[in-house]
Amino acid sequence: MGLLSTFGRPRPVTVPTDRVVHLRYWDDLHYLRSLCHDFTFRFDDVLDASKLEAALDRLMEIGDWGQLGARLRLNDNGKLEYHIPAEYDKSTRPAFGFTTAEYGISINEHPLGARLPTTGQDQSVLSPSCAEFAPLVRHEDSPRELADWIYSDRPQLHVHVAVFEDATLLTVSYLHTLFDAVARTNFFKAWIAVLEGREEEVPPFVPFDQDPLCQLGKEVARENYTHFGRLVAGLSLVLFGLRYLFELLWFRKEEEHPIRVPGHCVERMRETAQQELAAATPEGAEVPFLSEPDVVSAWWVKTMVTALNPAPSRTVMVMSPFNVWGLFKESFPAGAKGFIGNAFFNSYTVHKAGEVLEDNNLAHLACKNRQALVEHRTKEQVQAMTAIQRQSFMQFPPLVGDSNLLFMTHTNQHKARYFETDFSAAVVATGVPLTERPHALGRPSYINDIEHCRLYPTRNVCRVIGKDAAGDWWLLFKTRSEAWPSIHRQLATLLGIDQAEARDVPNAVDQVAITHNGSSPAKMYSEARGMLLQIRLLWRLLV
């Protein structure tokens, strides 16, 4: 259901016994309202869905964890509220949605299940988009946008478990206002602690009426931000918006594909970059350190800019979210491990396109990104950035650079350690034999993350899902469809795929694109309506 179809719809009547709590400031941001996720673990084992449900049900009875079942409401002032039930009833007002599907066949016998990416999968042909697996990983009643919550009495979380004879898909659907990537791990850890009978290790839940970061950006000078003089504002912001709108209108179709970068490729790039830095470092000085995520980020930036082929003089701005728990420990009296919410802000790395496209400069790009993160990840800079964001229209994060910048976002979720999530306590049968796989019992072999966007463009975004048990890195790229042949050729070069195969890459990409972009009249109408809504949002932002 879209926003245009919600006009005139009645909001649910407030239940007198519900406790009403306003969302925390940094949870109720306009762009977070626009993003909903279906986050899926693929296990090569059979999990007992009833054990998963019972453990989650018990978690909701421990301390304040039951607040996860709060209902989302939009009040008369346009602000979001949590309506927290005094008690839950599984048949009338459950604390969470929970559905299952039993297939009774091998996952490889299922038309969609057989296409799911796997550990060590061949990348000579692009993997399908995460969204293609929606009919498999979602229930037909799973939510996908804000309206699905505020015009119903739906709980915050919907869990769907698809069980095969040799695999299980566990999906959690939620709105981004509920939590960020790292807090999502807090939820999984608490759930697993109950599943394993370690209830005493479940951390205290930080109640929704406690806002640890509510003072950020208050009574702080915006001018303290290190790049204050380079903020895109006023006429520059208007011009940026018009150029971005042109990009959306001219290159209407976009695609997102999961990319597996083998660990040995990442390590080779990192070692080469470290050698280059050592050679360029004066004798006696400390050689800068580069991590694997630094190198993965630099490779993505170079790959994307090469594929998009902007003018060499054009500014490239890379926005990289980071979590601030470590900076403001004193603000989390109950401990960050029990925090369910959003606690991320952004660092900014600014390049010229020509600089990115230079040969053999991966070390430079990686170093520049790391330096930007170190520079921004301080209390003083976070305070200044949040002061700017508080005063912006609809609290959007600031932009740094100039009106002609190429906007890119890179989010590193490796710190959440999703591939180390251990649901072995719910395993009732092994799927793939342990001797034939790198991951342990009850640990995911693949992660599928469908991002549903309403109004808020998420083009030129990379989500680093993390490093799997085989040491390989999984990334999600989203950009215009026309860029994908170049991206895949660059991936083929990195992997050392035979040149004959590499020459076939455009055809392989075209085949995937045809699968994704075949447009029925209903789909064309939906795309047109979505574009109109994006134009309206950008117009409101600019004028």
* Cα gap 460→129, rounded to integer Å: 15
Residue 122 and residue 189 in one domain: yes
Is 138 a member of any domain?
yes
pLDDT of 292-343, one tens digit each? 999 999 999 999 999 999 999 999 999 999 999 889 989 987 678 999 999 9
Domain carrying residue 253: 222-416+454-495
Using CA of residue 177, residue 49, residue 161, residue 426, what is the dihedral sign? positive
Residue 251 and residue 106 in one domain: no
Which residue would you say has higher pLDDT here, 10 or 115?
115
Closest C-alpha to 477, from 458, 496, 494, 505: 458
Please provide the DSSP assignment of 40-107 as one string.
EEEESEEE-HHHHHHHHHHHTTSTTGGGGGPEEEE-TTS-EEEEE-SS-BTTTB-SSEEEEEE--S-G
- For residue 23, the tally of other CB atoms under 10 A from its CB is 23
pLDDT of 215-238, one tens digit each? 999 989 999 999 999 999 999 999
Residue 118 and residue 248 in one domain: no
The owner of tokens 């470290």 is 274
* Cα gap 342→206, rounded to integer Å: 12
* Cα gap 453→450, rounded to integer Å: 10
Please provide the DSSP assignment of 444-456 as one string.
EEEEEEEEEESSS
**What pLDDT does 346 receive?**
96
- For residue 499, the tally of other CB atoms under 10 A from its CB is 10
Is 96 a member of any domain?
yes
Burial environment of residue 111 by CB neighbours within 10 A (0 to 12, 13 to 18, 19 or more): exposed
pLDDT of 357-400, one tens digit each? 999 899 999 999 999 999 999 999 999 999 999 998 778 899 99
Over range 443-459, report the average pLDDT: 92
Among 280-289, 338-347, 496-505, top mean pLDDT goes to: 338-347
The structure's pTM equals 0.90
3-state secondary structure of 160: strand
What phi and psi values does residue 318 have, to the nearest 5 degrees? -110, 120
CB 537 within 8 A of CB 455: yes
Over range 39-65, report the average pLDDT: 98
Q: How far is CA 535 from CA 16, 104, 431, 478, 540, in A?
A: 40, 46, 48, 20, 9
* Cα gap 527→531, rounded to integer Å: 6
Residue 309 and residue 237 in one domain: yes
Is 526 a member of any domain?
no
Residue 387 and residue 485 in one domain: yes
CB 474 within 8 A of CB 462: no
**What pLDDT does 120 receive?**
83
Q: Which of 140, 175, 207 is the last residue of a domain?
A: 207
CB 73 within 8 A of CB 66: no
Residue 407 and residue 361 in one domain: yes
Closest C-alpha to 407, from 528, 243, 262: 243
- b/e code 355-393 from CB counts within 10 Å (16+ = b): ebbeeebbbbbbbbbbebbeebbeeebbbbbbbbbeeee
pLDDT of 333-364, one tens digit each? 767 899 999 999 999 999 999 999 999 899 99
Flag whether pLDDT at 525 surpasses 50.
no
Is 401 a member of any domain?
yes
Please provide the DSSP assignment of 471-530 as one string.
S-EEEEEEEEGGGHHHHHHHHHHHHT--HHHHHTHHHHHHHHHHHHH---HHHHHHHHHH
Residue 116 and residue 227 in one domain: no
**What pLDDT does 402 receive?**
96
Query: Three-state secondary structure along 273-326?
Result: HHHHHHHHCCCCCCCCCCCHHHHHHHHHHHHHHHHHCCCCCCEEEEEEEEECCC
Q: Per the structure block, which two tokens stand in for 4?
A: 């245009």
- b/e code 5-18 from CB counts within 10 Å (16+ = b): eeeeeeeeeeeeeb
Is 197 a member of any domain?
yes
Cα 467 to chain centroid, rounded: 15
Q: Per the structure block, which two tokens stand in for 330?
A: 């004193």
**What pLDDT does 8 receive?**
59
**What pLDDT does 332 receive?**
86
Burial environment of residue 527 by CB neighbours within 10 A (0 to 12, 13 to 18, 19 or more): middle
Residue 168 and residue 231 in one domain: no
Is 194 a member of any domain?
yes
Q: Which of 149, 183, 207 is the last residue of a domain?
A: 207
Q: What's the full length of the chain, in residues? A: 543
**What pLDDT does 361 receive?**
92
447 Cβ contact list (under 8 Å, min separation 6) = 39, 40, 41, 42, 418, 419, 465, 466, 474
CATH classification at residue 231? 3.30.559.10
pLDDT of 86-131, one tens digit each? 999 999 999 999 999 999 999 999 999 999 998 888 777 888 999 9
* Cα gap 128→117, rounded to integer Å: 8
**Mean pLDDT for the chain overall:** 90
CB 191 within 8 A of CB 213: no
* Cα gap 371→366, rounded to integer Å: 9
CB 216 within 8 A of CB 385: no
Residue 354 and residue 241 in one domain: yes
Is 149 a member of any domain?
yes
Residue 265 and residue 408 in one domain: yes
Residue 122 and residue 245 in one domain: no
Count up the domains in the chain and report the number: 2
Residue 380 and residue 323 in one domain: yes
CB 176 within 8 A of CB 36: yes
pLDDT of 160-209, one tens digit each? 999 999 999 999 999 999 999 999 999 999 999 999 999 999 999 999 99
Cite the active site residues.
176, 422
Q: Per the structure block, which two tokens stand in for 436?
A: 């034939």
Flag whether pLDDT at 522 surpasses 50.
no
Flag whether pLDDT at 64 surpasses 70.
yes
pLDDT of 33-47, one tens digit each? 999 999 999 999 999
Is 372 a member of any domain?
yes
* Cα gap 317→227, rounded to integer Å: 12
Q: Which of 182, 207, 232 is the last residue of a domain?
A: 207
* Cα gap 152→131, rounded to integer Å: 24
20 Cβ contact list (under 8 Å, min separation 6) = 14, 73, 81, 82, 83, 84
Q: Residue 161 is inside which H or E element, if any?
A: strand 158-163
Q: Per the structure block, which two tokens stand in for 266?
A: 């990442």
